Structure 1
Amino acid sequence: MHDETIRVLIIDDHPMFREGLKAILKRDPRYEVVAEAGNGREGLEAAARRRPDMALVDISLPDINGIRLTRELKQLVAGVRVVIVSMHSKIEHIAEAFKAGASGYLVKESASDGLLKGLETVARGEYFLDSSVSPTVVESLMTSPLQKGVSRDADYGTLTPREQEIMRYLAEGLSSKEIAEKLFISPKTAENHRANLMKKLNLHSNVELIRYAARLGLIDLDLWIDSGEPV
């Protein structure tokens, strides 16, 4: 891939950010943006048509979570290398991205400086993790099984995938109504899931839930660092 033109697909719901990525890629003649999309479904259609070598994917898309989209892209286009470009630097998102088959993870605020370096690393067949991510987290990702902290907790393992998803949103501070809108379910259903997971984990308040989520690694890295919590 490294010596030939690398065909790139950009999937991000912010047109201005897509333009910014394209402007950066134009600096290096090895990269050709063959398609762009504002949501996951359009991205999959574009991938099927254009068969890109590489896809730049945002995690927070309006229809499909970028982690799930990564899996679908890898199944759809043999050999495609996915680089996540996200506003989030949460260890959970980073671990899930690589688990889903991503080859790189770049934080949006450092994209202007790190994009070409990241793509060059990925094009060589190596993994790339944004240098703005805490070195201790990089070390823990490289030396430990993904989601090691989560796997150590038996109670967390009793949650259904949907309950785990809702717990992550609760840890981010979203209300049941906001979660319902994100997951296209009714607020009552979201609240029922919340009640069930609180019962399974023997938690009695949002504060307890947030502390529990922090212990599992479901909070921002910079909050961890500020609080002095070990990664």
Structure 2
Amino acid sequence: MSRTITVLLADDEPMLRTGVRTILGADSGIGVVAEAADGREAVELARSHRPDVCLLDIRMPRLDGLAAAAELARLVPPTAVVMLTTFSDDAYVADALGSGAAGFLLKSGDPRELIAGVRAVAEGGAALSPVIARRVIAHLGDGRLGRGVAARARTAELTAREREVLALVGAGLSNAEIARRLFLTEGTVKTYVSTVLARLGFKNRVQAAILAYEAGLVPAS
């Protein structure tokens, strides 16, 4: 029997927390172990419960989601952080790529995307909504063509296998899923991912996923 994925949910809107908890409750393999109404409480509860995944609203009182994500990365590194966003949070998402978050999902997105995202980051993958990927890339300015060329140039420095792994990281697959797709061992995939992140100068898989979208390795749709 597989282990239950434990989740901490942090949002200052009680109705939103209820909705997310209900969605996650539809999956018997996921359990919400604690809820927080602000970022500071989220950090405190995460230190107590050590959840597999922490779902953080970007804008919260006392300590916003970005600051909370940074503290969680420092204090509870095993916990994967997923930021819950709205369409009006584009600028925050763009600024949060270095916060250590393992994913960004829309609050108004498909419930199945939320469940899949929690499962993906719990297994070491990234959860990046295609809608968010499109909007973040668009938010970065009018130089999309230039960034696409630059992104393709950066990925051209990778080996064919490394680009293949990067594309699957961009698609949100976990190491285990990539291993099955490419008929490799999970340990080999982990090494490839670490090498790709190091060669690109990235801290996490979400940054790599954005580059994969910009380089055209993953369709943003």
Task: Give TM-score, length-normalised by structure 2.
Answer: 0.58
Determine the structure 2 residue equivalent to 1:26: 25
Q: Distance in 2 between matches of 1:74 and 1:137?
A: 22
SS in 2 for 1:22: helix
* 1:89–1:107 Cα contact (<8 Å) kept: no
Q: For residues 11-57 of structure 1, what are the alpha-carbon distances to aligned partners after superposition, in whole Å with 9 as ceiling and x for unaligned?
A: 10001110111101111111111100101121112112111111000
- After the TM superposition, which parts of structure 1 deviate over 4 Å for at least 4 consecutive aligned residues? 136-145
Q: Distance in 1 between matches of 2:79 and 2:19?
A: 22
Q: CA deviation at 1:135?
A: 3.3
The 5-angstrom pairing of residues 58-207 of structure 1 reads 58-88=57-87, 90-110=89-109, 112-133=111-132, 135=134, 137=136
SS in 2 for 1:60: coil
Q: CA deviation at 1:91?
A: 4.2
Letter in 2 for 1:22: R
Q: CA deviation at 1:144?
A: 6.8
* 1:84–1:97 Cα contact (<8 Å) kept: no
Aligned-residue sequence identity (percent) comes to 36
Letter in 2 for 1:108: K
Distance 1:130 1:87, change over 3 A: same
Q: For residues 80-120 of structure 1, what are the alpha-carbon distances to aligned partners after superposition, in whole Å with 9 as ceiling and x for unaligned?
A: 10000012455432233231000010111115342012112
* 2:12–2:38 Cα contact (<8 Å) kept: yes
Runs of at least 5 residues in structure 2 that lack an aligned partner in the other structure? 139-143, 152-221
* 2:66–2:96 Cα contact (<8 Å) kept: yes
Q: Which has the larger radius of gyration?
A: 1
Q: CA deviation at 1:136?
A: 7.2
2:54 counterpart of 1:55: yes
Letter in 2 for 1:21: V
* 2:69–2:81 Cα contact (<8 Å) kept: yes
* 1:89–1:133 Cα contact (<8 Å) kept: no
Q: Distance in 2 between matches of 1:111 and 1:65?
A: 24
Q: Distance in 2 between matches of 1:69 and 1:25?
A: 22
Determine the structure 1 residue equivalent to 2:199: none
Coordinate RMSD, CA, aligned: 2.6
Letter in 1 for 2:75: L
SS in 2 for 1:133: helix
Runs of at least 5 residues in structure 1 that lack an aligned partner in the other structure? 146-231
* 2:93–2:136 Cα contact (<8 Å) kept: no
Task: Give TM-score, length-normalised by structure 1.
Answer: 0.55
Determine the structure 2 residue equivalent to 1:45: 44
Q: CA deviation at 1:124?
A: 2.5
Determine the structure 2 residue equivalent to 1:15: 14
Letter in 2 for 1:131: P
Q: Distance in 2 between matches of 1:109 and 1:115?
A: 10
* 2:94–2:136 Cα contact (<8 Å) kept: no
